[in-house]
Amino acid sequence: MIHVVATITCHPGKRDEVLGHMRANLPNVVAEDGCERYEPSVDVELGHPAQPPLRPDVIVVVETWHSLAHLLAHLSAPHMATYREQVKDLVAGAELRVLSAD
């Protein structure tokens, strides 16, 4: 299993718009071969001293894929190219953490 933590930083005030595009594309992603989990998430206040400040312009996508090959196919899928085009002016940056439980 491959786990991905994708952190997407949106331009100020654009997070909800990016989330809308993500949610519209979600059925395409979860239908992909090898996709076990794909969940866009945002920070929630816990009130615990170990929690850093909330990030109002950040979306974290937690993903699980059967293999690196499945993840690579996802990254090059046509619907992901369409999504990236839709949000290119709304997103300031993105970072992928690709992890293995092996």
Q: Is residue 49 part of a domain?
A: no
> What is the CATH classification number for the domain harbouring 83?
3.30.70.100
> How far is 51 from 47, CA to CA, in rounded Å?
7
Neighbours of 31 (CB within 10 A): 9
Q: Please provide the average confidence, as pLDDT, over all residues in the chain.
A: 97
Report the domain count for the chain: 1
* Confidence class for position 39, pLDDT limits 50, 70, 90: very high
Residue that wins the pLDDT comparison between 48 and 102: 48
Q: What is the domain range of residue 65?
A: 2-42+55-100
pTM equals 0.93
pLDDT at 24 exceeding the cut of 90: yes
Q: Give counts: helices (H), strands (E), the chain.
A: 3, 4
Nearest to 70 by CA among 35, 38, 95, 26: 35
Evaluate if residue 101 carries a pLDDT over 90: no
Tell me whether residue 10 is in a domain: yes
